[in-house]
Amino acid sequence: RERNLEYQFGEAVPAVVRGSKADRQNWYRENAPYLYWNGANVGNEYDGKVYYRLNGKFEVDEDARALRIANNDPALLRRAIEDLRKNTDPESAQRAQRLLTRYTGEQHESASAWRSWLEDNEDQLFASDWNGYRFQPARGPGDADAESPARFAATAQALDKLSTLKRPAVDVALSVVADGEVARARLDFELEPGFWIYAPGSGAQFEFGVRAPAGFGYQVATDPLVPQVGEQGRLYGAFRIEVPLEGSGDVATLLVDFQACDEKLCHLPVTNARLVAKVES
Which three-class secondary structure string do you get for 92-137? Answer: HHHHHHHHHHHHHCCCCCCHHHHHHHHHHHHHHEEEECCCCCEEEE
| pLDDT reported for residue 79 | 95
More confident position, 190 or 161 = 190
11 vs 215, which has greater pLDDT? 215
Q: What is the secondary structure of 198-232 as a DSSP string? A: EPTTS--SSB-EEE--TTSSEEE-S--B-----GG
User: Using an 8 Å Cβ cutoff, are 32 and 42 in contact?
Assistant: no
Q: Give the residue among 196, 204, 223, 215 at the shortest CA–CA distance from 253.
A: 215
Highest mean pLDDT among 109-113, 131-135, 148-152: 109-113
CB atoms within 10 A of CB 107: 9
Question: What pLDDT does residue 181 have?
Answer: 77
Residue 145's pLDDT band, with cuts at 50, 70 and 90, is very low
pLDDT single digits (tens) 155-183:
445 567 788 998 889 999 999 999 877 89
Coil, strand or helix at 281: coil
**DSSP secondary structure of 34-101:** GEEEEEEEEEEEETTEEEEEEEEEEEE-HHHHHHT--TTSTHHHHHHHHHHHH--SHHHHHHHHHHHH
What are the pLDDT digits (tens) for 110-124? 999 999 999 888 877
Give the residue-averaged pLDDT of 175-201: 93
Partners of 278 in beta bridges: 251
Compute the distance between CA of residue 38 and CA of residue 188 in angstroms, rounded to an integer: 32
Residue 196's pLDDT is 95
**Which residues fall within 8 angstroms of residue 254, CB to CB, at 6 or more apart?**
174, 185, 187, 210, 211, 212, 220, 243, 274, 275, 276
More confident residue, 80 or 57: 80
Average pLDDT, whole number, for the chain?
83
Least confidently predicted of 94-108, 132-146, 205-219, 265-279: 132-146
Whether 189 has a pLDDT exceeding 80, the answer reads yes
Give how far the C-alpha of residue 17 lies from the chain's centroid of Cα atoms, to the nearest Å: 34
Can you give the pLDDT at residue 235? 96
pLDDT of 223-235, one tens digit each?
999 998 878 899 9
